[in-house]
Structure 1
């Protein structure tokens, strides 16, 4: 009877272990998935939103003097610790997109770029500049403050600046050192705010390969990814907190008892 009970307990433990493991790997339900059609028809391109910081460079090899008024620079102070002198280093002017999606650009004035992709913004500025040049100028638009945040059950939570303006969920997790073993793979929260200021919270299942086809697979600027902890982590946290409080109380009581003994002697 005792042997039978032991066997049942071992079998239960093994089944629980297998069940826990099934929740750990990413993209586990299908060994092969094709995204060729999806990628061909819907390549991701970030769109400009309010509060984005942009740099816009205008160049024209044939008429460089005509491009100069459109490439403003600002002086950046640089400290020299040796003699405590300050020098200035020129940097490109950055343009803040206002709440209406507009920027104030030299000569051209107000330009509405909100909601446009990088390529669409470059074409719009190029079209507006056309009357100023005899040959078509080259316009390059970059987002300076394209960043995302990853918090919760990851190895190194933080905010990360993305230089190429394109990042997916798994790349974001890799930047944060990946999920810990306590992170719930099928209950990842994505917090997103659109250009109208409306916020939404989306629940994502990273165990499911369908995530590769999700419209939330690629992150937008200022997205927040929150990896929720499992029950084991929560219980461990409670135990740790309770133990700390308990030791603190015991320490205080011991100190109080020692003080009373010293006084009564």
Structure 2
């Protein structure tokens, strides 16, 4: 009987046989990954080279010291757009980061995932992250600018962009908090700490790299948005810096859009130089995210 069972049992494939069949696919898969990396890097390099080449003639102090001019492109600058961009992004960060982090803490540490309303909140947050930015512009125009009576001001722009990037901040903060090992929480609670003390002194410090990286990447998306700000009154030509939250404003994407529309080649050169400034701000923000991640990252 044993001989019959041994004879009828199929032979298991050997490890060498499986690796032999898989081995031809591994070089092809690595080649596809390498090709994807090369394509991304090449396109980025071509973009940077083209913009630098086009705008090099105007990358001087006139660009950030002078205000825009419709008649004299050789004297025109982007000071109001640069200052407006920094104000809008600073206010956006002040609004969306605290709200996003506190929402993530509630959903990860306090909310009961079995309750239907908590699951509904999570589903809506994930869906809102994919909503086009122009929809947020219409929302900001109808509710914040007109419904709340704030008008088309700097504050309205910051609140609308905060709504735009808030789902991204929440999702990134949740992932960072979730990545903290449960043993850290259990050890803190076992030593007599309350849940809030555990979150404030153990969980949040450990999650800072992920939270900071996600927040800065979300702000990097907001800094390049033009469509919602066109609806919210971002002026294409402004010759002063905003001094209060209710002032008129402009930002670099709007100023670049205005210069590109002009027929004179000098304005196109100005637009390329302003793109370099915008990319420099973006790279500075991403560098800050990398520094924060490396500075506070912990390996468990």
Q: TM-score, normalised by structure 2?
A: 0.21
Q: Computing the radius of gyration over CA atoms, which structure comes out larger, 1 or 2?
A: 1
Q: Which structure has greater strand proportion?
A: 1
Structure scoring higher RCO (CA < 8 A, sep ≥ 6) equals 2
Q: Which structure has greater helix proportion?
A: 2
Q: TM-score, normalised by structure 1?
A: 0.23
